Amino acid sequence: MKTIRYGSRTIQKVLMRDTSRSHRLVERVSRIIEDVRVGQDAALLKYTRKFDKVRLSPREIMVSEDEINGCYQDIKPEFIHSLKTAIENVRRFYGKAIKKFVKVRHEDGVLLGERYRPLENLGVYIPAGQAPLISSVYMTVVPAHCAGVENIYLVTPPNQHRTVDPHILAAANLLKVKAVFKAGGAQAIAAMAFGTKTIPRMDKIIGPGNQYVAEAKRQVFGYCDIDMVAGPSELVVLANDHSDPGLVSADMMAQGEHKLGMSILVTTSKRLAKTISKLPCRGFVIRVRNLAQGADLVNQIAPEHLQIMVKQPERVVKLIKNAGAIFLGSFSPTAIGDYMAGPSHVLPTGGSARFFSGLGLRDFLKCTHVISYSRKALEKVRPHAELMAGLEGMKRHYESLKVRFE
């Protein structure tokens, strides 16, 4: 790991991480999206053969009931117990009631409000890769359920046996997902964004993925909604001389298990900086004068995960403005947030915690404004509205106000 000092030019490499996209990547993803938009299932299957090295027939795109029922034969009973515990923790966190309708009443008969309704069709992308991301199933589906979304579809790449990892199927089955489809990469995102004969068109697409998935989500945004464009996972540890070097090392090495994962230590401790700089993982060690300066740097980095591993983390956390998730103290590793704590582990990366939030209930709700005026209320503000309409050259807007009082 590279050691750098606060204020050095090298800091810009940390602040500007994960912001570039190759022109080739953008073009390749664009071609895949257009191909699937036009060719639908046939194009989807073509890319499944090309990228996943799996030949599927059109009727094999959707996971069958037999496959779902058979998945329990290939998993251990203790997995189901752990899965149910994790699901319950997430449900407990997101299960509080949501205000469906906010009303504001004024004098003279004005009623204003915001009406919240859940999305109708949600597509959840779950990567498979070298290992299935089982935790991403319940970390995405449970908040959507709590928000009231009824039609939740899961899309994940097929394995060499032309089916889906049994643990993912078990999680989807327990969570009563509407259907599971076998598709991966940018082609899966395109299928959800535009719909095919087999895969319904989604109102929103959520879930992690590689650079092709991230770029595809960026390009289909507007045709449907997305959660965010996520990059490689990242961790910042804010620590000092009171921090346990062994625990800091373990957490930063754990972060290195993610592909292109980045670990950053921000510390006041020369001793700790020297120890961590020897770790064989991707990242930086940054020395700061004090924890206040460290907190200021954290706010500039705006990390996905922040662990505050000092003696009194509650004092330092008050200085933090930008972070996807904050873990306080020595017994709150990022790993517990990944699997068990409750808040979703789908979090903003690459500095986007400055303006994005972690996945929450509002991500699955759409807000409709409600406006009701009485005659008396409209008459009171009519001159102001007519003035604005006149200045904007909207004659018919002006007339639609005037005609009500003639």
More confident residue, 116 or 181: 181
What fold characterizes domain 23-226?
A: Rossmann fold (3.40.50)
pTM equals 0.91
pLDDT over 80 (residue 246): yes
CA angle at residue 136 from 237 to 160, to 5 degrees?
Answer: 120
pLDDT of residue 227: 95
pLDDT digits (tens, 9 = 90+) for 134-153: 999 999 999 999 999 999 99
151: DSSP letter: E
Q: Check if CATH label 3.40.50.1980 holds for domain 232-355.
A: yes
Given strand 204-206, what is the order of strands in its sheet?
179-182, 151-156, 121-125, 204-206, 225-226
Confidence of residue 99 (pLDDT cuts 50, 70, 90): low
Catalytic residue flag (residue 88):
no
**Mean pLDDT for the stretch of residues 64-74:** 94
Tell me which long-range contacts 267-274 makes (C-beta under 8 A, separation of at least 24): 267/237, 267/238, 267/239, 267/240, 267/243, 267/294, 268/240, 268/241, 268/294, 269/239, 269/240, 269/241, 269/243, 271/241, 271/245, 272/239, 272/240, 272/241, 272/243, 272/245, 272/248, 273/3
Residue 40, Cβ neighbours under 10 Å: how many? 19
Amino acid identity of 124?
V
Whole-angstrom distance, CA of residue 245 vs CA of residue 242:
9
Domain with CATH 3.40.50.1980 in the chain: 23-226, 232-355
pLDDT at 3: 87
Tell me if residue 215 is catalytic. no
Express each pLDDT in 37-53 by its tens digit: 999 999 999 999 999 99
Which is catalytic among the residues 304, 314, 379, 384? 304
Nearest CA to 174 out of 66, 60, 68, 75 is that of 68
**Catalytic-role residue among 60, 145, 234, 305:** 305
